Amino acid sequence: MEDVSRPDPRQQAALSAALSGAVDLSSLKARAESTTRQPNGAPTSTNQWVIEVTDATFQSDVVDRSLTVPVIVDLWATWCGPCKQLSPVLERLAQDASGSWVLAKIDVDANPRITQLFDVQSIPTVVAVAGGQPVDAFTGALPEPQVRQWVGSLIDALRERMPGIRAAEEAAEQAAGRAQGIGEPDEPAEEPADPRFVAAEDAIERGDYAAAEAAYERILDAELGNEQAREALAQVRFAARAETADPAAIERADAAPDDVHAQLEAADAEVAMDRVERAFARLIDTVRRTSGEDRNRVREHLVELFALFPADDQRVMAARRNLASALF
């Protein structure tokens, strides 16, 4: 394996080709499931956003985690001089990012399956993974300003598509504000009610779900990353469907497993009946059986159902893992 300090244009082209879909991260899944799973990679020093990843933990620490925030994979080795220049830079940037992305460090000598998966020709190689798939990469020990610019461009491009990025950024801002004494109990900072949300909530109280849905959609048209509006939209859409949910839809769906519309109706009915885990399992099974637009439709419906519950709901967390397994 070649020890390099500057990017090779031919290698960059090869990486770009791999990112077009040739890399299948699910190839490590069987190995990960058949091996006694280690706990999530421990952070290096005190940096909780830097984790050591192995062949056995790749599925959970990289693929699953990348469904929430980007995971930047640092492929390195102890004998690699340029790696010793680049890795500390990535670790500092991960610490500064406060969870808007995670750095996964992988020793290529100790984890040959991952090395083979990414077709690593030289190190250091850095690959960004989002939504379970590689999305960008570079090779060589780039100067810190270039690395910082690469990471910044990546996060900017993914922020609206990955709510976990904005959530982490907002949490970091709030923590910084508390550290500076902003918003202390003796100086409450009251914000006026957003009239757009007030209008939507008034519509819900009237039972006019269509008007409420339209109000939340207008907010999202103006602010794609508004998670409050996105969650409220999922709630009001389900409330509208729940009013007409037919328990008989479950029997119809069971009799026609390939009828995607029937499966969606049945899942809604099951959630309305508080059979949440069964609803999630039904749609995950449907994801496994479908492809293309049908698969995407089912996935979006399932993610919308996830939004009805707290993010730390054990049923949602388990279903997210199963969905990642079905997709990747």
Tell whether the model's pLDDT for residue 187 goes beyond 70.
no
Please pick, among 4, 28, 63, 80, the residue that the annotation labels catalytic: 80
**Domain containing residue 65: CATH number:** 3.40.30.10
Same domain, 60 and 88: yes
Same domain, 218 and 270: no
Task: Give the domain extent around 273.
Answer: 247-328
3-state secondary structure the chain: CEECCCCCHHHHHHHHHHHHHHCCHHHHHHHHHHCCCCCCCCECCCCCCEEECCCCCHHHHHHHHHHCCCEEEEEECCCCHHHHHHHHHHHHHHHHHCCCCEEEEEECCCCHHHHHHCCCCEECEEEEEECCEEEEEEECCCCHHHHHHHHHHHHHHHCCCCHHHHHHHHHHHHHHHHHCCCCCCCCCCCCCCCHHHHHHHHHHHCCCHHHHHHHHHHHHHHCCCCHHHHHHHHHHHHHHHHHCCCCHHHHHHHHCCCCHHHHHHHHHHHHHCCCHHHHHHHHHHHHHHCCHHHHHHHHHHHHHHHCCCCCCCHHHHHHHHHHHHHHC
38 domain residue, yes or no:
yes
80 is catalytic: yes
The residue out of 102, 135, 169 marking a domain boundary is 169
Same domain, 252 and 312: yes
Rounded CA-CA distance 86/92 in Å is 10
Looking at residue 4, its pLDDT comes to 40
Same domain, 208 and 277: no
Looking at residue 288, its pLDDT comes to 94
180 domain residue, yes or no:
no
Same domain, 227 and 257: no
Number of domains observed in the structure of the chain = 3
Rounded CA-CA distance 65/53 in Å is 12
The residue out of 226, 244, 262 marking a domain boundary is 244
How do residues 125-160 score in pLDDT, each as one tens digit? 999 999 888 989 999 999 999 999 999 999 998 988
Q: Of 97 and 186, which is predicted with more confidence?
A: 97
Please pick, among 28, 83, 141, 212, the residue that the annotation labels catalytic: 83
Looking at residue 279, its pLDDT comes to 92
178 domain residue, yes or no:
no
**Domain containing residue 258: CATH number:** 1.25.40
Tell whether the model's pLDDT for residue 184 goes beyond 80.
no
Looking at residue 64, its pLDDT comes to 86
179 domain residue, yes or no:
no
Strand pairing class (2-3; 122-123): parallel
Looking at residue 25, its pLDDT comes to 54
Same domain, 227 and 254: no
Task: Express as a percent the part of the chain with pLDDT over 70.
Answer: 82
Tell whether the model's pLDDT for residue 239 goes beyond 90.
no
Amino acid of residue 262: A
Looking at residue 232, its pLDDT comes to 86
Amino acid of residue 125: T
Same domain, 151 and 7: yes
184 domain residue, yes or no:
no
Looking at residue 12, its pLDDT comes to 46
Tell me which of 108-122, 145-159, 224-238, 267-281 is least confident: 224-238
Same domain, 51 and 154: yes
83 is catalytic: yes
- Mean of all residue pLDDT scores within the chain: 81
Looking at residue 189, its pLDDT comes to 56
Tell whether the model's pLDDT for residue 21 goes beyond 90.
no
